A and B are shown apart, each in its own frame.
Chain A
Amino acid sequence: MRLELIKRPQHSVLFSAISPLIALVLTMIAGAIMFSVLGKNPLDALYYYFIDPLRETWSLHELAIKAAPLILIAVGLSVCFLSNNWNIGAEGQFIAGAIAGSILPVVFPDFQNWLVLPLMLIMGMAGGAAYAAVPAFLKARFNTNEILTSLMLVYVAELFLDWIVRGPWRDPGGMNFPETRDFHSFAILPELMPAAGRANWGIVFAIIAALVLWFVLGKTRKGFEIRVLGQSPRAGRFAGFSASRMVMVAFLISGALAGLAGISEVAGAIGQLQPSISPGYGFTAIIVAFLGRLNPLGIVAAGFVLALSYLGGEAAQISLGLSDKAARAFQGMLLFFVLGCDTLIHYRIRLVGRAPQVREAAEHV
Chain B
Amino acid sequence: MTEMGAGVDQLHEGEGGGLLDVRGLTKIFGALKACDAIDLSIGKGEIHALLGENGAGKSTLVKMLFGALEPAAGEIHWKGQPVAIHSPGAARHLGIGMVFQHFSLFEALTAAENIMLSLDEKTPILQVAERARELSKAYGLPLDPFAHVGDLSVGERQRIEIIRCLLQKPDLIILDEPTSVLTPQEADKLFETLETLRDEGKSILYISHRLEEVKRLCDRATVLRHGKVVAHCDPRQETAASLARMMVGDEVATVKRTGSVDAGGQALLEVRELSRPSANPFAVPLRKIDLLVRSGEVMGIAGVAGNGQGELFEALSGEALQQNAATIRIRDKDAGRLGISGRRLLGAAFVPEERLGHGAAPQMRLSENLFLSRHVTDAKALMGAFGTVRTGALAKAAARIVKVMDVRKSGEDPEASALSGGNLQKFIIGRELDRQPAVMVVNQPTWGVDAGAAARIRQALIDLARSGSAVLVISQDLDELFEMCDSVAVMHDGRLSAPMPIAEATFEKIGLLMGGATPERSELPEEAETA
- List A residues at the B interface (Cβ < 8 Å): 7, 9-10, 219-222, 224, 227-228, 231-232, 234-240, 355-364
Chain B residues, CB < 8 A from A234 = 354, 357-358
Q: List 18 A-B contacts (CB under 8 A).
A: A220-B387, A224-B371, A228-B361, A228-B368, A231-B364, A232-B364, A234-B358, A235-B372, A237-B340, A238-B319, A238-B372, A240-B341, A355-B72, A361-B82, A361-B84, A364-B78, A364-B85, A364-B94
Query: A219 touching B388 by the CB < 8 A rule?
Result: yes
* With A238-B373, A364-B93, A364-B94 as contacts: A9 and B357 at CB distance below 8 Å: no
With A and B bound together, what is the CA distance between A359 and B415 in angstroms?
40
Q: Report which residue of A9, A239, A356, A357 has the largest number of chain B beta carbons within 10 angstroms of its beta carbon.
A: A239
- Residue of A7, A232, A361, A362 near B361 (CB, 8 A) is A232
Query: A228 touching B70 by the CB < 8 A rule?
Result: no
With A and B bound together, what is the CA distance between A175 and B358 in angstroms?
64
Q: Which chain B residue has the least Cβ–Cβ distance from A350?
A: B30
Query: B376 touching A240 by the CB < 8 A rule?
Result: yes
Interface presence of B414 (CB below 8 A): yes
* With A220-B388, A228-B364, A358-B84 as contacts: A235 and B359 at CB distance below 8 Å: yes
Chain A residues, CB < 8 A from B71 = 355, 358
Query: A240 touching B84 by the CB < 8 A rule?
Result: no
With A and B bound together, what is the CA distance between A222 and B388 in angstroms?
8
B145 to chain A, nearest CB (A): 28
Interface presence of B352 (CB below 8 A): yes
Count of B residues near A, CB < 8 Å? Answer: 51
Query: A239 touching B375 by the CB < 8 A rule?
Result: yes
With A and B bound together, what is the CA distance between A219 and B75 in angstroms?
56
Chain A residues, CB < 8 A from B361 = 228, 231-232, 235-236
* With A356-B73, A358-B84, A361-B84 as contacts: A219 and B363 at CB distance below 8 Å: no
Q: Report which residue of A228, A235, A239 has the largest number of chain B beta carbons within 10 angstroms of its beta carbon.
A: A235
B499 to chain A, nearest CB (A): 27
* With A9-B418, A10-B414 as contacts: A362 and B73 at CB distance below 8 Å: no
B374 to chain A, nearest CB (A): 9
With A and B bound together, what is the CA distance between A363 and B82 in angstroms?
9
Chain B residues, CB < 8 A from A363 = 83-84, 86
Chain B residues, CB < 8 A from A224 = 368, 371, 375, 389
Chain B residues, CB < 8 A from A220 = 386-389
Interface presence of B76 (CB below 8 A): yes
Q: Which chain B residue has the least Cβ–Cβ distance from A222?
A: B387
Which chain B residues (370-396) contact chain A, with CB distance < 8 Å? 371-373, 375-376, 383, 386-389
Chain A residues, CB < 8 A from B260 = none
A285 to chain B, nearest CB (A): 25
* With A358-B75, A358-B84 as contacts: A235 and B358 at CB distance below 8 Å: yes
Query: A240 touching B364 by the CB < 8 A rule?
Result: no
B506 to chain A, nearest CB (A): 36
With A and B bound together, what is the CA distance between A358 and B319 in angstroms?
52
Query: A360 touching B75 by the CB < 8 A rule?
Result: yes
Interface presence of B16 (CB below 8 A): no
